[in-house]
Amino acid sequence: MSARDEQGEQMSDQQLHDELITLLLAGHETTATAISWAFYWLHKQPETLEKLRHELDNLGHSPEPMEISKLPYLNAVCNEALRISPGVLLTSPREVREPVQLMGYQLQPGTRVYGCIYLTHYREDLYPNPNQFRPERFLEKQYSLYEFFPFGGGARRCIGEALAMFEMKLVLATVLKNYQLVLADHQTVIPKRRGVVIAPANGVKMHLHRRR
């Protein structure tokens, strides 16, 4: 509220309102949903959870946040959760400015083009057994920006990517280090559109116990 631009102008109430809505929808809802999906997939697959726990248990008692953010298996788990359950299915639209040929399609000015994150993340040639949650694929292969793009790409890619990844890792590591979680029911969670994101239809209900 106290920020001033180069001309000494402050933001209007409308601009402040828009900033807050952006943080709430683009920033909070997306990251919170990604964390819910990660908890869900990890607890559907105990062997994956065990591998992650092993990595986390090798950290000291109160690890530095930067140390947590560099853990390779935790990074792979976050990537795989964002691959298999991308909260945002499509990139923002790009508008064609001049006639262009794209993969055999002739596109005219004014046409809107979207990148489909979901379909790319389920391509069998890139991700064998795409329905399987397997963080190891991110340790075995370096995916390109055109193969894995949960945060979109190019000049308009998500500005919150680094914050979101950092937040996901710190929340997962802190909760899993201190608590034992169990899925309250073992039914497959259905993805459902909720505002701007695709979220677990009824949340991910879990029981929580403190770890000794």
Which residues bind to ligand HEM, rule: CB under 6 A? Answer: 22-23, 26-27, 30-31, 34, 87-88, 91-92, 150-154, 156-160, 163-164
Q: Which is nearer to ligand HEM, 59 or 75 (CB)?
A: 75
70/156 with CB nearer ligand HEM: 156
Q: How far apart, in Å, do the first and last CA atoms of the chain sit?
A: 45
Distance CA 157, CA 88 (A): 12
Q: How far is the CB of 167 from ligand HEM (least distance, A)?
A: 7
Cβ nearer to ligand HEM, comparing 127 with 148: 148
**CA 189, 177, 162, 21 torsion: positive or negative?**
positive
Q: Pick the closer one to ligand HEM by CB: 59 or 191.
A: 191
Instruction: Tell me the closest approach of the beta carbon of residue 24 to ligand HEM, in angstroms.
Output: 10
155 Cβ neighbours under 8 A, 6+ residues apart: none
CA distance 190 to 40: 11
What three-state secondary structure class fits 198?
strand
Give alpha helix (H) positions in 45-102: 46-57, 65-69, 72-84
**CB of 157 vs ligand HEM, minimal distance in Å:** 4
CB of 110 to ligand HEM, least distance (A): 18
CB of 102 to ligand HEM, least distance (A): 16
What minimum distance in Å lies between the beta carbon of 180 and ligand HEM?
25
Nearer Cβ to ligand HEM, position 150 or 200? 150
Buried b or exposed e, range 8-33, using 16+ CB within 10 angstroms: eeeeeeeeeeeeeeeeeebbebbbbb
Cβ burial 138-165 (10 Å sphere, 16+ → b, else e): beeeeeeeeebbbbbeeeeebebeeebb
Q: Which is nearer to ligand HEM, 102 or 182 (CB)?
A: 102
